[in-house]
Structure 1
Amino acid sequence: MSDIIKAGKSIEVASKVAIMVHGRGATAQSIVSLKDHLNLGDFAILAPQAPGNTWYPYSFMAPDQSNEPAFSQSIQKVDNIVKEVLDKGFKPEQIYFIGFSQGACLSLEYAAQNAQKYGGVIAFTGGLIGEKLNAPKYSGKFAGTPVFIGSSHQDMHVPLSRIEASAELLEKMGAAVKTYIFQDSDHTIRQEEINWVNVNILK
């Protein structure tokens, strides 16, 4: 898998795996640089690279068909990584998803479509994907998986209403959801988010 950046511990000796998913227009290397701020010392880090630096062409709330086939291909790419990690003997609760913006949306969406007890899902500005939320397309139970969604109350790409609706749906599926909403309009990852995630999920 030449389009996957590997960092942190080797997968042979790591006790946990972080699948890190970059945002639109960014790179796998850029999301991996977050490791210098997150408590990922015991982790093998796997970060896929999106073709053309984007996981799907339009907004995550655009009509579903407009983002195909890129969206389904991106979900499949994450699934391939998860299966490879499981094949190496890791349990789902040793797998963590970490994404920013478009990568946060993809992380949440993949986890909800394949819900089980993961180590955690960390979404720096994201929500579930689709023109409308369609609960029947999600399956499984999170069984207490910690899910973090941080964002501004008026993000330019991710409306607060979608974050709140996503959190509600994830909670119904058994996730322990924390939303951390900031009174700014910045599309960024804040130190307060890093601190919360390090203390509560990556501890």
Structure 2
Amino acid sequence: MYGTRWFDALETPRKALVFLHGRGQASRPAQAMAQRLVMPDSILALPEAPSHSWYPASFLSAVAMNETELEASLRYLEEVIGKIVDGGISPDAITLAGFSQGAALAAEFAGRKLRAFGALIAFTGGRIGPWNVRWPEDTRLDNMRMLFSASARDSFVPLKRIEETIEHFVQRGATVDVLSFDDSDHCVREEEYRAALTLIA
């Protein structure tokens, strides 16, 4: 069952951060990552997927292998962002962020543009689909800011897919910052947090 933990802003709320956990990631580590990014005037939303998995197979699998759960996760994320907007936060003041599988879901949500929002932060993740996929969307994303960061030799998320995702978003007008690291660590580094905070601020 999906659920969301909500954290109030320390100051008058003007922004919101929605952070999506990785596959199998417990709530406490995901919260610790998110709190590195939240600003004093930001509401923090931490959606949680059933069994801590947004979809069952690899993000590079055939669409049919993930479709049912992926569609449900995207719908739930749409509901979460809708509640933030209904609460008075402007869509362009919402940052959607995630790590690993959560980053892939965030990128897919941005790619399908289910709801407009201000910024995307994808720590080790790219859009979903098999190799040679051609994402059909071409709506403009000129006002969106994005950060993609990952290891060049990550065993779970090939850098090539992240590069394909970045190319797709740049073609649609998004402003994209990129960080890559010459290691194989599946983590978020201090430099990535700093870059993300700069983008949010």
Aligned with 2:200 (options 192, 199, 202): 202
Q: Which amino acid aligns with 1:202?
A: I
The one-character-per-residue Cα deviations of 1:23-71 (angstroms, maximum 9, x if unpaired) are 0001344322124422522110111111011001110010000113111
TM-score, normalising length: structure 2 = 0.92
**Structure 1 residues 2 and 99 mapped into 2: Cα distance closer, same or farther (>3 Å)?**
closer
Deviation at 1:13, TM superposition (A): 3.8
Counterpart residue number, 2:9: 9
Q: Which amino acid aligns with 1:4?
A: T
**Structure 1 residues 89 and 37 mapped into 2: Cα distance closer, same or farther (>3 Å)?**
closer
After TM superposition, where is structure 1 displaced by more than 4 Å over at least 4 residues in a row? none
Counterpart residue number, 1:122: 121
Deviation at 1:119, TM superposition (A): 2.3
User: Gaps spanning 5+ residues in structure 2: where?
Assistant: none
Q: Percent identity, please.
A: 31
* Equivalent pairs, count: 200
Q: Which amino acid aligns with 1:134?
A: R
- Alpha carbons 1:5, 1:29 under 8 Å: kept: no
The one-character-per-residue Cα deviations of 1:121-175 (angstroms, maximum 9, x if unpaired) are 0010000001143321x25321231110100001111111101110000011111
User: Gaps spanning 5+ residues in structure 1: where?
Assistant: none
Deviation at 1:2, TM superposition (A): 7.6
**Structure 1 residues 58 and 95 mapped into 2: Cα distance closer, same or farther (>3 Å)?**
same
Q: Which amino acid aligns with 1:109?
A: E
TM-score, normalising length: structure 1 = 0.91
- Alpha carbons 2:2, 2:50 under 8 Å: kept: no
- Counterpart Cα distance in 1 of 2:115 and 2:78: 13
- Counterpart Cα distance in 2 of 1:65 and 1:129: 12
